[in-house]
Amino acid sequence: MSYSPHTTADRAAMLAAVGVDSVEALFADIPATVTPRSFAIPAPLTEQEVRGELIRLADRNRVPEVSFLGAGAYRHLVPAVVSEVIGRSEFATAYTPYQPEVSQGTLQSIYEFQSLVCELTGMEVASASHYDGATATAEAALMACRLTRRDRVAISTAVHPQVRRVVETYCSGPGIDVVEVPADLAEGGSGLTPVEAVERLVDGSVACLIAAQPNVFGGIEPMAVFADAVHASGALLVAMVEPTSLAILAAPGTYGADIVTAEGQPLGIPLSFGGPYVGLMAARMASVRQMPGRLVGATRDHAGRKGYVLTLQAREQHIRREKAASNICTNQALCALAAATYLCAVGPEGLREVADLSATQARHLAAAIETAGLGERRFAAPYFAEVAVRVPDAARRHAALAGEGIVAGLVLDTIYPELHDCLLLAATELTTDQDIARLVAGLEATR
Amino acid sequence: MSYPEGLHYTKEHEWVRVEGSTATIGITSFAADELGDIVFVELPEVGGSLTQYAGFGVVESVKAVSDLFAPVSGTVTKVNERLRDEPELLNSDAFGDGWIATVELADAAELDDLLDAEAYTQLTS
């Protein structure tokens, strides 16, 4: 059965109005080589044949035995209760419902997520979640521009390059300038964002500084100093944080961050080829009307019973149309539920243990490499659970180790072309002493 | 329904009261009634400049959100801080305590383009 709301006459009238001959002409800009007609699709297969083909393809996956890869996505233990809860049929939609208030359970789960994000970040209000950390950060840049009525944003180059590209993409439409604040990547440098560069580049025309804590190299930035410096120019501080680190690092709410964003993947979401992940965003209540995305609020009904609603919807595009705070009017409900379940399962103590163990193992890792004379830390600054290590001939050895089932982190010049012969190595609570010993032995063997 | 004499009105339902070179601006009781219970007013910044008929703020009610359009051009000299906590003043006293901002008039001739009470009454009846 097909259903088309438009008659042939309707279509002809619309085509005449826009001045083209055919529906196909509307897609004339798409190169012929990428149109469906150009696809070389083989003949249909039986279910059994498809199954065989998929098994053959799946067998080509190589799951590493040992991995130190991080750079924005981290391998953590996901307690079984997380998949149990998110697998419940009551939650089987990634969307906030179109008639939300009839789905009290969904709204409550989002409200709990928001409350946990507020507790973790030390902020006053959190959104119902965003696609991922990068889009949340880009939305924060736009939000800062609305709040300050300025149209330039500054971003540290020690923010992951992929996040910076998403911010640039979001800023290109509304004509917002993106100013890079160069991190100190010199030989013997800190790997951090220099305060003097922040003071020089964040002037009265800049809406915000976006800095990551820890930064892409794992380094601990002087966020409180940044906050004071940017506030002196009337600008805001957008802190993009790694959420498990907040169990042992200062909460952004305590050092003057105005908007906090995070990639929520480390909170109970598995590494699955880049997603789906979940973006976190929190802010101060005074700026809530400029926040993007959905917000769930708690209230009382006519009989005094607690209930949940989608609140402050006048910010959103179904009411505010083109002037909405964001064109996003959904959230990552399922991943947000996973994050909320994870945080409830591990609790404050558990999260502190995750952060402590991750940081401790990162130190063991760096020390083991240095002690064996295989390399040394590239940057001088204190770090959380990820560390850049200079290792001669890094790319070749990384490839050789991959053949042994060991992912020796990220070859850093793939994302920072100027940083040659460096591996960016991450540790988590899943990193064992044996893993570290295998990495060291592998580096020895490829010397 | 009648509206105060001596004020200038826009078709977008803002009013202006001129005293010397200072213009006080607000929204009409008609607009406030149409919006319903007003829960938030986004005020302009003191020192900012307004351009006649351009948006300068937002009013939000429980059922809608509307832009505020400047009835005259000028520099904002004061904003009604009470509206931050008591946006309902727009509903209860649109032409009095519900004033939104005062501006230093840039061009008094702009007033000639606005409606008087009688014309505005006709517009809304």
Query: According to DSSP H, which parts of B1-125 are helical?
Result: 29-35, 82-85, 89-92, 117-124
Is A360 in the same domain as A316? no
The phi, psi pair for A242, rounded to 5°, reads -95, 120
Is A70 in the same domain as A90? no
Take residue A376 and report the two structure tokens written for it. 């040394």
The phi, psi pair for A240, rounded to 5°, reads -95, 115
Q: What is the pLDDT of residues B3-34, one digit of tens each?
A: 999 999 999 999 999 999 999 999 999 999 99
Is A314 in the same domain as A237? yes
- Look at residue A125 and tell me if it is in a domain: yes
Single residue among A319, A342, A365 that ends a domain in this structure: A342
Q: What is the pLDDT of residues A158-177, one digit of tens each?
A: 999 999 999 999 999 999 99
What pLDDT shows up at residue A223? Answer: 98
- Look at residue B114 and tell me if it is in a domain: no
Is A164 in the same domain as A272? yes
> Using CB atoms and an 8 Å cut-off, which of residues 298-317 of chain A contact chain B?
314
Higher pLDDT, B43 or B63: B43
- Look at residue B94 and tell me if it is in a domain: yes
What pLDDT shows up at residue A252? Answer: 98
Report the CATH number at residue A311.
Answer: 3.40.640.10
What pLDDT shows up at residue A330? Answer: 73
Q: What is the pLDDT of residues A237-269, one digit of tens each?
A: 999 999 999 999 999 999 999 999 999 999 999
Q: Nearest CA to A375 among A392, A360, A362?
A: A392
- Look at residue B117 and tell me if it is in a domain: no
Averaged confidence pLDDT in chain A: 94
> What percent of chain B has pLDDT above 90?
88
> What percent of chain A has pLDDT above 70?
98
User: What does the alpha-carbon distance between residue A374 and residue A447 come to, in Å, rounded to a whole number?
Assistant: 8
Contacts of A319 in chain B (CB under 8 A): 64-65
Is A406 in the same domain as A265? no
Q: Nearest CA to A252 among A126, A112, A109?
A: A126
Is A387 in the same domain as A303? no
Contacts of B67 in chain A (CB under 8 A): 323
Q: Which residue has the tokens 């490829």?
A: A446
Contact: B64, A319; criterion CB under 8 Å? yes
Is residue A79 within 8 A of residue A346, CB to CB? The reply is yes
Is A398 in the same domain as A381? yes
Q: Among B60, B62, B67, B83, which would you mutate to test the A interface (most chain A Cβ atoms within 10 Å of its Cβ)?
A: B60
What pLDDT shows up at residue A212? Answer: 98
Report the number of distinct structural domains present in chain B: 1
Q: DSSP per residue over A351-389, as a string?
A: HHHHHHHHHHHHHHHHHHHHHTTS-EES--S-BSSEEEE
Which residue range is the domain that position B99 belongs to?
8-106
Its pTM stands at 0.88
What pLDDT shows up at residue A97? Answer: 67
Which residue range is the domain that position A427 belongs to?
66-74+348-445
Handedness of CA A121, A127, A133, A136 (dihedral sign): negative
Contact: B60, A289; criterion CB under 8 Å? yes
Contacts of B36 in chain A (CB under 8 A): none
Is the Cβ of B104 closer than 8 Å to some Cβ of chain A? no
Is the Cβ of A323 closer than 8 Å to some Cβ of chain B? yes
- Look at residue A30 and tell me if it is in a domain: no
The phi, psi pair for A82, rounded to 5°, reads -65, -50
Is residue B73 within 8 A of residue B50, CB to CB? The reply is yes
ipTM for the predicted complex comes to: 0.74
User: What does the alpha-carbon distance between residue A144 and residue A147 come to, in Å, rounded to a whole number?
Assistant: 5
Residue in chain A lying closest to B61 (CA): A314
Q: Nearest CA to A176 among A154, A155, A153, A157?
A: A153
Q: Which residues of chain A have pLDDT under 70?
A: 1-2, 93-97, 329
Report the CATH number at residue B88.
Answer: 2.40.50.100
According to DSSP, the residues that pair with A388 across neighbouring strands are A424
Nearest CA distance, B95 vs chain A (angstrom):
25
Is A238 in the same domain as A384? no
Contact: B40, A319; criterion CB under 8 Å? no
Please state the separation of Cα A440 from the chain's center in Å: 30
- Look at residue B3 and tell me if it is in a domain: no
Report the number of distinct structural domains present in chain A: 2
